[in-house]
Amino acid sequence: MDFELTEEQQMVRDMARRFAEEQIKPKAAELDETHEHPADIIKQLAELKMLGIAVPEEYGGGGMDYVSYVLALIEISKGCASTGVIMSVNNSLYCFPVQAYGTEEQKKKYLTPCAAGEKLGCYGLTEAGAGSDPARMRTVAVRDGDEWVVNGEKKFITNGNVASYAVIAAVTEKGKGYKGISSFVVDLENTPGFKVGRVEEKMGITASGTAELVFEDARFPADSLLGEPGQGFRQMLTTLDGGRIGIASQAIGIGRAVLEEAVEYANTREQFGKTIAQFQAIQWKLADMATELDAAELLTLRAAWLEDHKKPYEKAAAMAKMYASDAAMRASVEGVQILGGYGYCKEYPMERHMRDAKICQIYEGTNEIMRIVIARSLLRGK
């Protein structure tokens, strides 16, 4: 068992850390306040090959591994959780399925622009009545000659308001449940009948757009089908496994920001003639935070290593996402407590971290669903 990072992995981590400290962190509070999409930061991330880290260079990506992706995403999310999830969705939920299931023509057309960061991608799965249960999906695609006619609405789509490309799940065979779901990869900018609907006002990750995707007799080219008809649900499960590694990384980044700021505050805040860092009650909070975040990072790196080595990683990804998001939420609650009244005020970033951390327990599979995934795997003897 080797815990040593390769030279390339260290380089990626250090590069992401410097960029986050110098370019992202100073702007994070303003982005949170204005709810503005961080276009300039995303452009710079593209130049650093952060938007397609594990995509081969021939398709515009960085040609690196998923361990590097985790290390980089932790640092970016530490600087700004909104930026982190934009990066995560483009890498995990868009680039991955196009790379894994797309034809050579689809990769050249749909993967390269997003892996290179020229455009952003999103993933259209969730609907108002179909979140944890995709079988309730109501978006329907019907073949019409050389096109698919699509009707339906997707809900809570990260990057949905700024994405040029999307992987969309739709029912192509009614009455077959999961087996009737197919995936499509589409150019949203050139899809007749498509429009962006409501953009949500959210508690946290406010600089990351969360939007409805509305399809009204929208027409997808026949060659936009990803894989074969009826394979969408299986593709979806694998895609979400990788996405959970991304969200675990985002959660760890938020937790690291909390811990760093809590330590700094505890070392400077004085009460009863000494810094609060000297009180055992504060020390125990910090110790618990650090231990849980280290454990979360190890779980997440294990999941990424398994993905890199083409080994099953469904359970590992669910464990990482569940534990990391819970750890980040616990850390943020304690971080606010350590800062006291200041932790509750926008003068300090701690309250933002608490708002940002919560969503990590919900999206890309709620933590209740993660526990079901883990238990089912155990009961199957895996």
Where in the sequence numbering do the catalytic residues fall? Answer: 364
CA pair distance 375, 229, nearest whole angstrom: 30
Burial class (CB in 10 A: 0-12, 13-18, 19+), 302: middle
Phi and psi angles of residue 300, each rounded to the nearest 5 degrees, phi first: -70, -40
Sign of the dihedral defined by the CA atoms of residues 273, 278, 279, 282, in that order: positive
SS3 of 104-170: the string is HHHHHHHHHHHHCCCCCEEEECCECCECCCHHHCCCEEEEECCEEEEEEEEEEEECCCCCCEEEEEE
Q: Is 49 left (phi over 0), alpha (psi -120 to 50) or beta?
A: left
Residue 108 CB neighbours (<10 A): 14
